[in-house]
Amino acid sequence: MKTLSLKLDDEIFDEAEEITGALKVARNRYINEAVSIYNRVNKKRLLKTQLAKESSLTSQDSMDILHEFEKLIDEN
């Protein structure tokens, strides 16, 4: 496990303290879970961006192939 020094805005800290107190969970555990969730959200965002980029690179080729298949079907 890594040790981390962290500066939080006062409002964020106060809100986290309220929530951890109400949930009876350690601040460290709460922040670990929050970062884990944020990592998953951002991994999905990055994947979405990558897929969109790769899709745009292949979209014209896909359309060309589709038109070729349509021509073959129309000929038969």
SS3 assignment, position 25: coil
pLDDT in tens, 13-69: 999 999 999 999 999 999 999 999 999 999 999 999 999 998 888 887 888 888 888
Reported as type and span, the H/E element at residue 59 is helix 27-75
SS3 assignment, position 66: helix
Query: Is residue 20 classed exposed, middle or buried when 0-12, 13-18 and 19+ CB atoms within 10 A define those classes?
Result: middle
Neighbours of 75 (CB within 10 A): 6
